[in-house]
Copies of this chain bind each other. A is one copy, B any other.
Amino acid sequence: MKQLLSHLVNYSPLSVAAQTALQECFEQVTLSKNEYLLTQGKVCRHLYFLEKGTLRGFYVLDGKEITHWFGFENDFVTSFHSFITQEAAVENIQLLEGSILWCISKEMLTELFNQYHEIERLMRIAYEKYYIRLEERFVNAQFKTASERYKNLLQQTPHILERIPLGYIASYLGISQETLSRIRSKV
């Protein structure tokens, strides 16, 4: 919880009152490897903060699992589309390691937004950061070659390579596992 709060304050300052309220609203969840936080078809009603561990978001296309994002320590995780629209999720969220998370429901969060301007501000700023991050991934996906994307990953988020099986990483980079293997053998 300490870690959660100090991470939140990084986004934007919070009064003691707001911090206390947050503390009361987040609940701890511990899950072990391979368990699911969300499965497709369900509505995602919670936002999670990942204190420790890793997880992946994936969806199924033509019987194959397409991993499109990872979560690591200090990430907010949820199926944004489902959480925001409250429609059925198209994706699954699965733990890749035993993990510690903090969880808050959408209703609870909305209530906190109503009570504390500063918490809504924090969320606005969080969205800004996540938007920029996604924008960068989009430009990479659309306009860079497979090996450029891999080199980018090496430079910018090498921790992904250390903790995640290559099959998932290939999918994350939008290339086949075989191509990723060949790219790695050349670099």
Q: Which residue of B lies closest to A84 (CB)?
A: B128
Q: Contacts A121-B120, A127-B127 known; A135 to B61 CB distance under 8 Å?
A: no
Q: Contacts A80-B131, A131-B130 known; A68 to B120 CB distance under 8 Å?
A: no
| Contact A134–B138 (Cβ < 8 Å) | yes
A68 CA / B128 CA spacing, docked (Å): 19
How many A residues, CB 8 Å from partner?
29
Q: Of residues A68, A130, A142, which shows the largest number of chain B Cβ atoms within 10 Å of its Cβ?
A: A142
Mask of A126-142 contacts with B, CB within 8 angstroms, 1/0? 01111110111111011
Q: Contacts A117-B120, A120-B121 known; A80 to B138 CB distance under 8 Å?
A: no
| A72 at the binding interface (Cβ < 8 Å) | no
